[in-house]
């Protein structure tokens, strides 16, 4: 059966010494080599997504190379809260959903692997820890959006800014499985923060997820972009660590 490797990472835009972090992102992306990866907090002012894509593509001796689909809200923070999805597989559809609150959005792409279509949603939900209901409403809006489309095997991934026990996580797990939890029997200890973030005192924990529909079997899942610089133990690719999953289409 066809397989696909998906991943997600919040890039922390250009903050936290991006010039030093970028080589770590590129190195670890080239090592992971997912078919599709969703990024959050892409800085559109410096064309951050294209910078990463070009750097990784230079290391790939053969095609297919990565191509990126961007999306952003027209709000004041559009330059730092863009999202983007890189893929080395055929993209058949791309659309953007305005989540209607706090300038948040989601992308839905339809990709094709060995003739099999699937949908992937990349999103970044509202931030402050106390705003649990606002995030849950954004998650519910994404699910209603998916219900308006023909059913496909679906992945919903990104920075949900939601700890275990929040209603947002319950909403998502009412429809999908967490790939990491399906593989390991629990969520990671944390996906945020790393020492790159020196100013946010919110509680550490898991905020990032890869949710998968029942049509997928989770073959492998784990953390990604979790290795510090060999020269500086406090320098990581981002203030988040990422996730990846290898998924097989069920027969």
Residue 3 neighbours by CB under 8 Å, 6+ apart: 113, 219, 246, 247, 248, 249
Task: For residue 213, give its domain range.
Answer: 3-249
* Cα–Cα distance for residue pair 106/83, rounded to 1 Å: 8
pLDDT given for residue 74 in this prediction: 72
Residue 123 neighbours by CB under 8 Å, 6+ apart: 38, 40, 83, 99, 104, 105, 106, 107, 138, 142, 156, 157, 158, 159, 160
pLDDT given for residue 76 in this prediction: 67
* Cα–Cα distance for residue pair 94/27, rounded to 1 Å: 27
CB 79 within 8 A of CB 43: yes
pLDDT given for residue 81 in this prediction: 80
Concatenated DSSP letters for 95-145? EEEE-SSTT-EEEEEEEEETTEEEEEEEEE----TT-HHHHHHHHHHHHHH
Element (H, E) at 41: strand 36-42
Residue 61, number of CB atoms within 10 A of its CB: 5
pLDDT given for residue 80 in this prediction: 74
Ranges in the chain, pLDDT < 50: none
Element (H, E) at 209: strand 208-212
* Cα–Cα distance for residue pair 7/168, rounded to 1 Å: 20
pLDDT given for residue 239 in this prediction: 98
Global model pTM greater than 0.95: yes
pLDDT given for residue 61 in this prediction: 82
* Cα–Cα distance for residue pair 163/200, rounded to 1 Å: 16
Cis preceding linkage at 246, omega within 30: no
pLDDT given for residue 153 in this prediction: 98
| Number of separate domains in the chain | 1
Q: Express each pLDDT in 134-176 by its tens digit.
A: 999 999 999 999 999 999 999 999 999 999 999 999 999 999 9
pLDDT given for residue 1 in this prediction: 85
Instruction: Provide the CATH number for the domain around residue 217.
Output: 3.60.10.10
């Amino acid at each position: 059966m066809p397989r696909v490797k998906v991943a997600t990472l919040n890039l922390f835009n250009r903050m936290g010494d991006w010039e030093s972090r970028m080589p770590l992102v590129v190195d670890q992306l080239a090592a992971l080599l997912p078919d599709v990866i969703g990024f959050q907090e892409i800085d559109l002012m410096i064309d951050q997504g294209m910078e990463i894509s070009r750097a990784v593509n230079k290391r790939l001796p053969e095609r297919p190379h990565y191509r990126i689909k961007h999306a952003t809200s027209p709000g004041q923070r559009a330059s730092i809260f863009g999202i983007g999805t890189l893929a080395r597989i055929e993209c058949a559809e791309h659309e953007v959903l305005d989540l209607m609150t706090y300038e948040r959005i989601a992308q839905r792409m339809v990709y094709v692997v060995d003739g099999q279509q699937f949908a992937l949603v990349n999103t970044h939900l509202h931030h402050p820890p106390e705003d649990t209901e606002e995030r849950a409403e954004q998650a519910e809006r994404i699910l209603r959006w998916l219900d308006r489309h023909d059913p496909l095997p679906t992945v919903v991934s990104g920075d949900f800014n939601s700890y275990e026990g929040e209603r947002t996580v319950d909403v998502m797990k009412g429809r999908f499985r967490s790939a990491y939890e399906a593989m390991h029997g629990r969520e990671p200890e944390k996906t945020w923060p790393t020492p790159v973030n020196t100013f946010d005192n919110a509680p550490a924990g898991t905020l990032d997820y890869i949710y998968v529909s029942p049509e997928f079997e989770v073959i492998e899942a784990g953390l990604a972009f979790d290795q510090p610089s060999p020269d500086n133990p406090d320098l990581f690719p981002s203030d988040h660590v990422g996730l990846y999953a290898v998924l097989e289409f069920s027969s």
